[in-house]
Amino acid sequence: MKQLMVFDLDGTLAKSKAPLGVGMGRLLGRLLSVARVAIISGGTWTQFQKQLLPYLPTDDRLKRLSMLPTTGTRFLQYDGQWRVLYAEDFTAAEKKKIVTSLDTAFDQSGFRPAKHWGELIEDRGSQITLSALGQEAPLTEKKAWDPDFAKRKKIKAILDPLLPDFSVTLGGATSIDITRPGVDKAYGIHKLKLELDIPIARMLFVGDALFPGGNDHPARTTGVECIEVRDPLETEHVIRAFIAAAP
Ligand SMILES: [Mg+2]
Quote the ligand 1 centre to 33 CA distance (angstroms).
Answer: 25
Instruction: Read off the pLDDT of residues 138-171 as tens digits, 9 standing for 90 and up.
Output: 999 999 999 999 999 999 999 999 999 998 988 8
Buried/exposed 136-170: b ≥16 CB within 10 Å, e otherwise: ebeeebbeebbeebebbebbbebbeebbeebbbbb
Instruction: Read off the pLDDT of residues 40-57 as tens digits, 9 standing for 90 and up.
Output: 998 889 999 999 999 999
Q: Does the predicted TM-score (pTM) go above 0.85?
A: no
Quote the ligand 1 centre to 61 CA distance (angstroms).
Answer: 24
CATH number of 4-88+183-245: 3.40.50.1000
pLDDT band at 71 (very low <50, low <70, confident <90, very high): confident
Query: According to CATH, where is 3.30.1240.20 located in the chain?
Result: 92-179
Instruction: Read off the pLDDT of residues 184-243 as tens digits, 9 standing for 90 and up.
Output: 899 999 999 999 999 999 999 999 999 997 889 999 999 999 999 999 999 999 999 999
Quote the ligand 1 centre to 226 CA distance (angstroms).
Answer: 13
Quote the ligand 1 centre to 2 CA distance (angstroms).
Answer: 22
Query: According to CATH, where is 3.40.50.1000 located in the chain?
Result: 4-88+183-245
Quote the ligand 1 centre to 231 CA distance (angstroms).
Answer: 9
List residues, by chain if needed, whose CB lies under 5 Å from ion ligand 1.
8, 10-11, 208-209
Q: Which CATH superfamily is domain 92-179 in?
A: Eukaryotic phosphomannomutase, cap domain (3.30.1240.20)
